[in-house]
Amino acid sequence: MMGCWVLNESLSIVLVLSWLGVNLYLFIDTFYWYEEEESFLYTRVILGCFRGPWRRQLDKNLKFHKLVAYGIVINATIHIVAHLFNLEHYHWSQSPEAEGLVAALSKLGDTPNETYLNPIRTFHTNTIAELLTTIAGITGLLISLALILIMTSSTEFIRQVSYELFWYTHHVFIIFFIGLAIHGAGRIVRGQTPESLLLHNITFCRDHLEEWQAQCPVPQFSGKEPSAWKWVLGPMVLYACERIIRFWRFQQEVIITKVVSHPSGVLELCMKKRDFKMAPGQYVLIQCPSISTLEWHPFTLTSAPQEDFFSVHIRAAGDWTEALCKAFGVEGQPLKEPWSLPRLAVDGPFGAALTDVFHYPVSMCIAAGIGVTPFAALLKSIWYQCCEAQTQCKLNKVYFYWICRDPGAFEWFADLLLSLETKMSEQGQAHFLSYHIFLTGWDENQAFHIALHWDENADVITGLRQKTFYGRPNWNHEFQQVAFSHPSSNIGVFFCGPKALSKILQRMCRVYSSADPRGVHFYYNRESF
């Protein structure tokens, strides 16, 4: 059972594990470098490391981005706490009570011809003042604040409350990366120079302070070069390239070929753009300069690649989408002339294609609520590829499940299903697509109405030939039925919707896949936003 899940996710697991492995190796390598390297022996002495017991998938891109962010936060916390202790120790080493090697090391640099080791030069200061007079301190404080602001405005709750706040605050990362690159410019962490190491034998000299003028010439130190910029330069360049590409695409013309205003405030935009190639399941970023010059919003594509235009369905659910719907004349506004429509810029398409559907002989597509949008593109694409074109298609049966609380906002999708149903039965392929709609938000009045019309041929709410069910699907029953009808096939299960249902479906896939390699096997794929 476990094997099925592991195999499905195996590629992303391997990538994440290798990334974690590289990070772990780098951390351990750098730690030991500071621990063993001779040039840092005296640094370790002052910091008290000898004392005391303490001596620290390109489409799963969003998940990876969050993983990296959490990694940065954890490492930043460790870094900050460690340096807090370091500053205290540096400060204390300058106090009159410090003695022995630590005191001698701290005094280095007071006379001319000596290089200093302890970045805090006197006891008559406090750690805050020391922090705020160094580049490392100021940049460190600034970028920590930037990181915290980004984190608090990126929680799922805030993204729902105001996507714009999340979007704009996130751009503070520019301050973060610039600060990070110059964070080490002050070269506070100092190590013994190689020439000094040759002259000053640390194994002998560290225990023989009295010889320091005679046998042991005074050790010389230099600051460690900043190295963070080497790590961030690559990704920063890549990101800059991406923004340049987006700017170039912004300049490209987008022609709006059709604007449809669907019930319940849904706007359908059909557009054309030069050299635009898409696959079902992908999304685009749309900007409307007349509404906002800085915001790009993601929308799943709802048209099939075989059509000569691409379309998105937009529902007014926030500031920007409401403004867009108004600008395009939705719901009661006077009809707009084509030349008065606002200009749009489109970047994309991005995202994983749902084309795996075609690799299985049988596919189950499950959409919950707004997760139905990628399936609009997919079902249309299936129609073009498997029903209309006379080409041989590996896929020969599609089960589609649509779970929806309120069908009002998705009447356009019901229309799509109706037209597919008609077209398929015209082609004699009525059995190809079997769909089941589940309305989970029904009330008593609706129930009466439905019960009275139960015996009619078409469904009373959607007008479709297959009846709508009320309440949530019984997945055990559904999977059993499908497994029974296709006893020795590989069945792809594609889902788009909330996490809770995803877990249930994954479990169903495991439970109903047979142990026999020739038996029925369910392979789970999840499309996520």
What are the residues binding other proteins (CB under 8 A)?
77, 80-81, 84-85, 87-88, 91-92, 126-128, 131, 141, 144-145, 148-149, 151-153, 155-158, 160-162, 164-165, 168, 318-319, 444-450, 452
Minimum CB separation of residue 149 from other proteins in Å reads: 7
Residue closer to other proteins, measured from CB, 103 or 395: 103
Minimum CB separation of residue 274 from other proteins in Å reads: 34
The β-bridge partners of 221 are 192
Residue closer to other proteins, measured from CB, 164 or 331: 164
Residue closer to other proteins, measured from CB, 157 or 339: 157
Minimum CB separation of residue 446 from other proteins in Å reads: 6
What Å distances lie between residue 521 and 12, 188, 486, CA to CA? Answer: 21, 60, 10
Minimum CB separation of residue 77 from other proteins in Å reads: 7
Q: How far apart are CA 151 and CA 70, in angstroms?
A: 9
Minimum CB separation of residue 37 from other proteins in Å reads: 25
Minimum CB separation of residue 292 from other proteins in Å reads: 9
Minimum CB separation of residue 350 from other proteins in Å reads: 25
Q: How far apart are CA 268 and CA 394, in angstroms?
A: 32
Q: CA gyration radius for the chain?
A: 32
Share of the chain residues as helix, strand and coil, in percent rounded to the nearest 5: 50, 15, 35
Residue 274 has which token pair?
A: 């030069």
Minimum CB separation of residue 36 from other proteins in Å reads: 25
Minimum CB separation of residue 45 from other proteins in Å reads: 18
Report the SS3 class of residue 334.
Answer: coil
Q: How far apart are CA 527 and CA 529, in angstroms?
A: 7
Residue closer to other proteins, measured from CB, 38 or 406: 406
Residue closer to other proteins, measured from CB, 49 or 158: 158
Minimum CB separation of residue 85 from other proteins in Å reads: 6
Nearest residue to 449 (alpha-carbon basis) of 462, 463, 461, 458: 461
Residue closer to other proteins, measured from CB, 10 or 160: 160
Q: How far apart are CA 169 and CA 212, in angstroms?
A: 55
Cβ(108)–Cβ(116) under 8 Å? yes
Which residues, at least 6 apart from 365, have a Cβ–Cβ distance to it below 8 Å?
357, 375, 378, 379, 398, 399, 400, 401, 494, 495
Nearest residue to 524 (alpha-carbon basis) of 515, 516, 513, 514: 513
- Residue 223: CA atoms inside 13 Å, Cβ hemisphere, count? 11
Residue closer to other proteins, measured from CB, 15 or 72: 72
Nearest residue to 263 (alpha-carbon basis) of 409, 464, 439: 409
Q: How far apart are CA 505 and CA 473, in angstroms?
A: 11
Residue closer to other proteins, measured from CB, 93 or 196: 93
Residue 23 has which token pair?
A: 């990070």
Residue closer to other proteins, measured from CB, 168 or 231: 168
Exposure class string for 51-79: b at 16+ Cβ within 10 A, else e: eeeeeeeebbeeebeeeeeeebeeebeee
Residue closer to other proteins, measured from CB, 151 or 236: 151
Q: What pairing do the DSSP bridges indicate for beta strands 490-496 and 521-527? A: parallel
Q: How far apart are CA 120 and CA 194, in angstroms?
A: 23
Residue closer to other proteins, measured from CB, 321 or 385: 321
> Which backbone phi and psi does 356 adopt, to 5 degrees?
-60, -20
Minimum CB separation of residue 452 from other proteins in Å reads: 7
